[in-house]
Amino acid sequence: MLKHFRMLADYNRWANVQVYNAAAELSDAEFNEDRGAFFGSLHGTLNHLLVADRLWMHRFNGTGGVPASLDTVLHDTLRGLYSLREAEDRNIITWMETLDADALAVDITYTSILRPGAITVPLHAAVLHMFNHHTHHRGQCHMILTSMGKSSLVLDLLHFLRSEGRHWM
C-alpha cells in the first residue's frame, strides 16, 4: 500500500502539471469564467484543490495553514496558484516518503469545515480520499476545458505509468 500511495503522490503531481499547462493557454477571462463546475471556474476549482490539500496535510502532519472555507482563494493568478501547487505537491511527496506501513494503519481524528464534531478514520483511508478527491475535481477541470472547445487532457494513470512514471512499474 505504501508504494501505491507514493505512486499516487507522483501521479497527482504529474496530472496537476497537465491541468496547469492546459490552463496556461486560457485568457484570464476564460480562466475565471463560471462554467458550472462545483467551484464555478477553473480558477475556483484549482484553488479548491489546493485548499483541500492544505487541510488534509494539516490533518496528516500539522504543517501549513488551515483555510477558513473550501472556496478560499489562495491566489488570484494562475502563475501564483501554480507556484503554490508545485510547493504543495512537493510537500505531499516528501510527506509520503516519511511514512511506513504502521503509520498508514493508525487512526487520525479531525474536525471538518463542513460539519462539527470529531471524525476518526484510518490514515490510509484519508490519504486515499485525498487522491480520489483530486481525480474528481480534475475531471471537472477537464470538463471546463473541453466545454470551452479546448483539447481533451490525457490524465489516465496508465498513461502516466507508460510515460513519466515508468519507474513505478
Average pLDDT rounded to a whole number, residues 149-169: 95
What CATH number is attached to the domain comprising 130?
Answer: 1.20.120.450
Chain segment 32-75, per-residue pLDDT in tens: 999 999 999 999 999 999 999 999 999 999 887 888 888 888 99
Binding site for a divalent metal cation: residue ranges? Answer: 48, 133, 137
Mean pLDDT of all residues belonging to the chain: 95
Structural domain that includes position 9: 1-168
Interatomic CA distance for residues 37 and 44, integer angstroms: 9
pLDDT in tens, 73-116: 899 999 999 999 999 999 999 999 999 999 999 999 999 988 88
CB 46 within 8 A of CB 23: yes
pLDDT tens by residue, 119-150: 999 999 999 999 999 999 999 999 999 999 99
pLDDT of residue 79: 97
Q: Is the dihedral of CA 59, 61, 67, 70 positive or negative?
A: negative
Q: What is the pLDDT of residue 68?
A: 85
Q: How many domains does the chain have?
A: 1
Binding site residues, as ranges? Answer: 48, 133, 137
Evaluate if residue 164 carries a pLDDT over 90: yes
- Per-residue pLDDT at 113: 87
